Chain A
Amino acid sequence: MGELRHVTLDPAEGSGFATTKLNELLGWARKWSLFKYPFVTACCGMEFMALTSPRFDGTARFGAEAPRFSPRQSDLLWVVGTISQRQAPVLRRVYEQMMEPKWVLAFGTCASCGGFYDNYTTVPGIDKIIPCDVYVPGCPPRPEAVIDGLMLLQDKIARGDRTPGVVKPREDPAPGLVQLRRNKGVSA
């Protein structure tokens, strides 16, 4: 996998053949059998419904369709939509009630960074309250972007990588467009 693989599930463990293969097996099993807790609040919920609809089928074919409306029984927390300050303790409690290993997917811009609700009542991104593994920007994101987010999360689960990731567009905008970039650590 080249330079991108750098973290295993437990670096302190021995890196013998059996443990690596076991980690791979666990990662494979976990990523294909995610039980989701759909913490749906707002407009992104409509795209969440569309994601599970027959056209996109964005969860069933990844084994991630089974919703468990109890945090005790789920391992992927989908935070779909804006989280207001009033809802924040609820989100925190739901996250704390989940058992390890657990992952969080921030669906939409409001969950990732507060969106354009920069005001007294919106939490500017769920990572201010709970750790987040994958951010899917978009207002609301197209179901295809969410599928990319789910695949990115599966990639991370398989490698045991807990670094947060962001879904980026598959195609860069028009090549002739002038892009202002910062000078550090730029990738394609």
Chain B
Amino acid sequence: MEPIDLDLDENELELPTEPMRLNMGPSHPAMHGTVRIVLELSGETIVKSDVQIGYLHRGFEKMCERGTWAQVFPYVDRLNYVSPMLNNVGYALAVEKLCDIQVPDRCQWYRMILGELARISDHLTCTGAMAMELGAFTPFLWFIKAREMIWDILEEETGARLTHSFGRIGGMAHPPTPALKEMCRTAVRSVMDLVEEGEKMLLKNRIFLDRLEGVAPISGADAVALSWTGPCLRASGVPYDVRKVHPYLKYDEVEFDMPLGKTGDNLDRFLIRLAEVRQSVRIVLQACDRMPDDGPVNCDDLRFVLPPKQEVYTTIESTIAHFKLIMEGAKVPAGEVYSYTEGGNGELGFYLVSDGSGTPYRVRIRPPCFPITGGLSKLIQNAMLSDIVPTFGSLNMIGGECDH
């Protein structure tokens, strides 16, 4: 039997002309959990898109106003939950800027080491997830295996694999363990091996390259106008990295490069993250060489830092200081400050307003991936439906941070 439309001329058919509405819902495998994109499609091409976030809004800023300054650390961990140490360090630096205190050198190196390990795990998770969403399951497993090695170090140091809450105002919760340097040096070697294997697997694969190369490019000027920072901005060729331009901790004393992309397409964003993993490895190794093996980790200002437990149980001043710090919170001087560090996704800023009491008046986080996700609509305009998946993956939207 012949097909019934053999005689029909396509021009005579009445085809619907309104665009099709499609919902990539808040529970979607490639939406990193919690973003809803309402699309208007004409065939496979996206005519209009509305990116709706807020499905993971957990009221971070409101919760901070209900505790003390030190009680913010667990909340801050859960913002960018793939690199929690960077959030801890960022917030600690912000409060220390407001209090006008400086942590000792050893603590600065320690924060750098843990922070860069967290950054490596962030970039590995992002690139691994991007590959997995395109169908490459194996490099994802390899990168997660590398991430496990980093998490082993973090578990040994901080006690927890993921949400450490290890930063403190004026230092860290505990001094580094004696095995830290050895563990770091061994682990980064294995991590680099796995990263190289993953790269070999992916970067010569025709399908992978076709899906990433030339898809969703964005120019440097557009990215700056959209308030992008971090790897997504550097992929468009704009040389802005807070660690290089406004160094904090000891970043001006270590040598590392700032990889830059050209077109700002998905492939550039993917490659930049892997290049940054290499640079972070360089930083970790240099910091391991430079970190002093002894010396205090916390600054000894009793107004903000808990006194050692020995003294708390034996001297009265320390008992009172400890009591006041725990029950009332550190009395951060009144004022406001904006402090920024390089988080996993870009400039992670904290705008703190203090009224002089132990409870924060306002803790505002400037999430790096908030404006980046805001630019998604522009990126996928006129792209095809299946281009959303690698594009969204390359932006590394972390729900906890974007929705804070």
Chain A residues near B (Cβ < 8 Å)? 38-43, 45-47, 49-50, 53-55, 67, 69, 81-82, 84, 86-87, 90-91, 94, 116-117, 119-122, 139-140, 142
A122 to B26, CA, bound (A): 16
Supply 12 further A-B pairs (C-beta < 8 A) apart from A54-B145, A81-B56.
A40-B33, A42-B33, A43-B162, A46-B162, A49-B144, A53-B144, A53-B145, A53-B148, A84-B56, A86-B54, A116-B63, A119-B59
Q: A46-B82, A67-B29, A90-B27 are in contact. Are A121 and B57 (CB under 8 A)?
A: yes
Name the contact of A94 in the complex, choosing from B27, B75, B78, B144 (C-beta under 8 A). B27
A142 touching B161 in the complex, CB below 8 Å, given contacts A54-B141, A55-B148: yes
Could you tell me if A84 and B148 are in contact, using CB atoms closer than 8 angstroms?
A: no
Total count of chain B residues near the partner, CB < 8 A: 33
Inter-chain contacts of B57 with A (CB < 8 A) = 84, 86, 121
Query: What B residues does A90 contact at CB under 8 A?
Result: 25-27, 55
Find the A residue at minimum CB distance from B165. A139
Within 8 Å CB of B162, what residues of A? 43, 46-47, 140
8 Å CB interface, B8-30 against A: 25-29
Expressed in whole angstroms, the minimum distance between the Cβ of A104 and any Cβ of chain B is: 14
Q: Does B108 reach chain A (CB closer than 8 Å)? A: no
Residue pair B55, A86 in contact (C-beta under 8 Å): yes
B residues in contact (CB < 8 Å) with A: 25-29, 33-34, 54-59, 62-63, 74-75, 78, 81-82, 125, 141, 144-145, 147-148, 151, 161-163, 399-400, 403
Q: How far is the CA of A45 from the CA of B399 in the complex (A)?
A: 11
CB–CB B33/A45 < 8 A: yes
Contacts of B74 in A (CB 8 A): 116
Q: Which A residues are in CB contact (< 8 Å) with B27? A: 39, 87, 90-91, 94
Q: List 21 A-B contacts (CB under 8 A).
A: A38-B29, A40-B33, A41-B55, A42-B33, A42-B400, A43-B163, A45-B33, A46-B162, A47-B161, A53-B145, A55-B145, A69-B28, A81-B56, A84-B55, A84-B58, A84-B403, A87-B34, A116-B63, A119-B59, A121-B58, A140-B163
A53 to B132 alpha-carbon distance, docked (Å) = 13
Once the chains are docked, how many angstroms separate the CA of A119 from the CA of B59?
A: 7
Contact of B56 among A55, A82, A142 (CB under 8 A): A82
* B84 shortest CB reach to chain A, Å: 8
Q: How far is the CA of A84 from the CA of B34 in the complex (A)?
A: 10
| Chain A: CB-nearest residue to B63 | A119
Give the docked Cα–Cα distance between A63 and B365 (Å): 42
Instruction: Report the Cα distance A50→B140, complex, angstroms.
Output: 11
- Docked Cα-Cα span, A50 to B146, in Å, equals 11
Inter-subunit contact B33/A50 (CB<8 Å): no
Docked-complex contact B78 and A43, CB < 8 angstroms: yes
Shortest Cβ gap from B54 to chain A (Å):
6
B56–A42 contact, CB under 8 A?
A: yes
- B81 A41 Cβ-Cβ under 8 A: no
Q: CB-nearest residue of chain B relative to A87?
A: B55
* Least Cβ–Cβ distance between B397 and chain A, in angstroms: 13
With A and B bound together, what is the CA distance between A118 and B98 in angstroms? 28
Contact of A49 among B26, B28, B125 (CB under 8 A): B125
Is A41 in contact with B59, judged by CB distance below 8 angstroms?
A: no
CB distance from A45 to the nearest CB of B (A): 6
- Given A40-B33, A46-B82, verify A82-B145 contact (CB < 8 Å): no
Q: Are B58 and A117 in contact (CB under 8 A)?
A: yes
Residue of B with least CB distance to A85: B57
| Minimal Cβ-Cβ distance residue in A for B143 | A53
Contact of B400 among A43, A50, A86, A139 (CB under 8 A): A43
Contacts of A139 in B (CB 8 A): 163
Look across to chain A and name the residue whose beta carbon is closest to the beta carbon of B34.
A41
Report the bound CA distance from A139 to B159 in whole Å.
13
- Chain B residue contacts of A47, Cβ below 8 A: 161-162
| Cα-based distance from A112 to B148 in the complex (angstroms) | 26
The 10 closest A-B pairs by CB, nearest first: A43-B81, A119-B59, A53-B144, A41-B33, A87-B55, A121-B59, A69-B29, A117-B58, A40-B33, A90-B26
Residues of A within 8 A of B147 (CB): 50
How distant is A177 from chain B, measured CB to nearest CB, in Å?
18
The answer to whether A46 touches B58, judged by C-beta atoms less than 8 angstroms apart, is no
